[in-house]
Amino acid sequence: MKNTVALNQKNLVQIKDYIPIPKFDRRGLKCGIVHIGIGGFHRAHQAFYTHKLLELSNSQKWGICGVGLREGDIDMYKVFKRQDNLYTLMVKHPNGKIESQIIGSIIDFKLGCNDSKSVLEQMAHPDTKIVSLTITEGGYNFNPVTSEFNFDNPDIQHELKNPHEPRTVYGYLTTALRKRFNAKLSPFTIMSCDNIEHNGDVARNMLLSFVKRQNQDLANWIESEVSFPNSMVDRITPVTKKADIAYLKKTYEIIDEWPVTCEPFIQWVIEDKFSNGRPEFEKVGAQFVPDVKPYEKMKLRLLNAGHSVLGILGAIQGFQTINECMEDEIFLACLRRFMDTEATPVLDEVIGVDLDSYKDSLEERFSNPNIKDSLSRICSESSAKLPKFLIPTIQESLANDGSIEIATLVIAAWCYYSDKGIDKNGQPIEVCDALSSELHQAAKRTKTDPLAFIKQESIFGDLFKNERFVTLYGSTLQRIYEDQNIKVHIRNLLQ
């Protein structure tokens, strides 16, 4: 191209000579899917599957309307408006190759915090068959220890008092379903795509708790008519960097203000229960199965927990990325030891999956040097992640007399990390967590009460009452406070 070209619908004719563009007519598409949470992951995963399906079939039913609920989504909203909801997906291969393509399955974007009415209208529209969610592990508003809905959340309180002013996903789902119920329309399916075991069941239980406080008839209708398929979703999607934007400009002279980068691997296992029809995602590689639970557990307890193990230990060691951790043979051995001796013994059998090959493939994926997945992304919101990824493994291993050494090292390291916020070389680590100040305060109290950090019951449950855990945690914590060279501690464990 002679001059740089901004990514938008009109300019696709120029762009198509350089990067593949959507092979379907976007104009005739209807919004069959409303997706809440248009972050990088959705754009690298579900929107990509949908794009492939639209290229394959002529179905006009399954365009996606993206929704952002929070003020933090405004920047993305503006970019989407400027780019006619188009973006570049950059798949980064381990050999350095980058495959780019323009994704066209998202055809609209609505912002709840500015215009909740139009979001609700879209959700209640007869064309909408599915509302899917990537609202992060922390977005489900439940106590991981008691599994109960958190009615103390001020936004939830507001919604209960003002049912026509939704703020959280629960307020939106309830108001939209109420509109459909009153209009005698079929409901939509609610499809959670977050990294939580039994994500569909959790979404269902939480929504029903919330609706029952307001309208029993509506709750009964949701209970009998709305499906909440569980699903396991997988594709490593690092945060977009300025260098990615610069790459597209330099290589193709395309200005995309917010491309998405990801690894080549992709997987989606979904339960085949939908209230109101579904896209034929199986035609583009998704697996529909009767029970997704063993797949979810395998992925969360190996991949996601493996990430957290490397992330927290690696951050203190002074590493920046997952692949940097994997280049260190002690960290690599630590990951494998954790997966083999702590996580695997508490997994269920996954029919058709060889766990050793699965773990080998995780090592390969984590080692991809082109991805540069930052430890700051991995460690962000650890207070919402670890109760789903790692702490259940410790609890189950304790119940089975299993091994817990590496997981305990991670928890002790997390306490140090939350307390000091520096790596072993004294460099600051930016802690990004909704509970960062609570974590910091609790960790700081370690000086006077060695168990203070793990006494945060909403994160750790009653782990602090388990003698075996407490003894190991106490001695590990002491060693980390004495010497922050994590490799020394790992080496001792591996002997």
For the bound state, the minimum distance from the C-beta of residue 264 to ligand CS2, rounded and expressed in Å, comes to 13
Q: How many residues bind ligand CS2 (CB under 6 A)?
A: 8
Find the binder of ligand CS2 among 129, 278, 307, 388 (CB under 6 A): 307
Q: Are 358 and 298 in contact (CB under 8 A)?
A: yes
Residue 331 has φ and ψ, to the nearest 5°, of -65, -40
**Cβ 366 to ligand CS2, closest distance in Å?**
10
235 contacts ligand CS2 (rule: CB under 6 A): yes
Token reading at 270 = 């979904």
Among 234, 271, 324, 419, binds ligand CS2 (CB under 6 A): 234
Our CB check for ligand CS2 shows the closer of 159 and 381 to be 381
According to the binding rule CB under 6 A, does residue 134 interact with ligand CS2?
no
- Residue (188 or 268) nearer to ligand CS2, CB: 268
Measured distance CA(423)–CA(347) in Å, rounded: 33
Please choose, out of 6-14, 98-106, 234-242, 247-255, the segment that lies near ligand CS2 by the rule CB under 6 A.
Answer: 234-242
- In angstroms, the CA 13 to CA 7 distance is 11
3-class DSSP assignment, residue 88: strand
Count Cα atoms within 13 angstroms, Cβ side, for 429.
Answer: 35
Q: Does 385 bind ligand CS2 (CB under 6 A)?
A: yes
Whole-number minimum distance, CB 237 to ligand CS2, in Å? 7
Q: Which of 233, 235, 125 is nearest to 176 (CA)?
A: 125
CB nearer ligand CS2, residue 49 or residue 172: 49
Q: Provide the sign of the torsion angle of the four alpha carbons 366, 489, 458, 158, taken in this order.
A: negative
Residue number with CB closer to ligand CS2 (113 or 239): 239
**Choice between 204 and 235, CB closer to ligand CS2:** 235
Work out whether 195 is an interface residue with ligand CS2 (CB under 6 A): yes
378 forms part of the interface with ligand CS2 (CB under 6 A): yes
**Helix-strand-coil percent breakdown of the chain, rounded to 5?**
50, 15, 35
Helix 405-420 with 305-317: angle, nearest 10 deg: 50
Question: Going along 263-415, which residue ranges are E strands?
Answer: 267-271, 287-289
* Piece in contact with ligand CS2 (CB under 6 A), picked from 19-27, 110-118, 233-241, 242-250: 233-241
User: What are 110's strand-pairing partners?
Assistant: 67
Contacts with ligand CS2 by CB under 6 A lie at 195, 234-236, 304, 307, 378, 385
